[in-house]
Amino acid sequence: MDALIEIRNLSVGYGQNIVLREVNLTIQKFDFVGVIGPNGGGKTTLLKALLGLLTPLSGEIIFSETMTEGKSHRIGYLPQINHIDRKFPITVFDVVRSGLMSRKRLTGRYSSEENERAGDLINEMGISAIRNKAIGELSGGQIQRTLLCRALVNEPRLLILDEPNTYVDNRFERELYEKLKILNDKLAILLVSHDLGTISTYVKSYACVNSSLHYHTGNKVTPELLKSYECPIQIISHGEIPHTVLYNHKS
């Protein structure tokens, strides 16, 4: 089996408030899962459980051997951009390098090999010009690139992105999705988006999260899927734009 992560009958929540019930999901090697659903439906809760920030109330999350390295899991995490304090006095290079801290002891210093790797990634992402700038001086897209470098620098097997398309312009969004397509050859991706209209066309399967989880292989959107959004808005467009229609939930 190539499963990286197996979620079995997982229920998570905060105190008495159960947000997600009986979730089952398997993430395979080279998967590209789009996690969609209404706000408050539990997308972030699912992420937090995967990242180990929330302890399951019941059920379990099983990580394969390739996913673990010492005590930590090989997950790269790109948080929502508004989660970052932009006034914090730290440079792009230091943010990127900090992605390597999980392999460090408390007093860890970076080796020259690690510095080089961080530098290569920065070049690859096209932000070498701002390498020594403080994050307070960057645009939204530049910060996203920086955070993406931080998520990738420790060579994760799974990359989790939490709504990377908010607060950035369309051009960056397109570039990001192209980048993700290339990365997908090497690692699995879990992309969270509340914005159904602009999720990447490279997504291979969907997980609809609304207090429970429905999994759709293939990339097609159905009225049912849209209904799980409880959204009164229709998407109207003419041809030539790639569309995705998912099959109905059988619940």
Partner 1 sequence: MENLIALFNFGFFRNAFLAAFIASVTCGIIGTYIVSRRIVFISGGITHASFGGIGMGYYFGFDPIVGAIAFGILSALGIEFFTKRADLREDSAIAMLWSFGMALGVIFIFLTPGYAPNLMSYLFGNILTVSKGDLISLFLLAIFVIGFFVIFYRMIIFVSFDEEFAMTNNAPVRLFNALLISLVALTIVLNIRVVGIILVMSLLTIPQAIANLFTKRFDMMMIWSIAFGFLGSVTGLALSYIYDIPSGASIIFTLVVLYGLIKSIFLLFGKVNLQQKEKGRLRNSVLSQFPPEK
Question: In the complex, what is the shortest distance from the CB of residue 137 to partner 1, in angstroms, rounded to a whole number?
Answer: 7
Per-residue exposure over 103-133, b if at least 16 CB sit within 10 Å of its own CB, e if not = eeeeeeebeeebeebbbebbeebebeebbee
Binding mask 13-52 for partner 1 (x = CB under 8 A): --------------------------------------xx
Q: Are 1 and 62 in contact (CB under 8 A)?
A: no
Contact partners, residue 124, CB within 8 Å, separation at least 6: none
Should residue 126 be labelled a site residue for partner 1 when binding is judged by CB under 8 A? Answer: no
Should residue 89 be labelled a site residue for partner 1 when binding is judged by CB under 8 A? Answer: yes
Contact partners, residue 129, CB within 8 Å, separation at least 6: none
Binding mask 175-204 for partner 1 (x = CB under 8 A): ------------------------------
**Strand ranges, E, within 15-162:** 17-28, 32-36, 58-63, 68-69, 72-73, 75-78, 158-162
CB nearer to partner 1: give 40 or 108. 108
CB nearer to partner 1: give 104 or 227. 104
Residues that bind partner 1 (CB under 8 A): 51-53, 71-72, 75, 77, 79, 83-85, 88-91, 94-95, 98, 101-102, 104, 106-110, 134, 136-137, 150, 169, 171
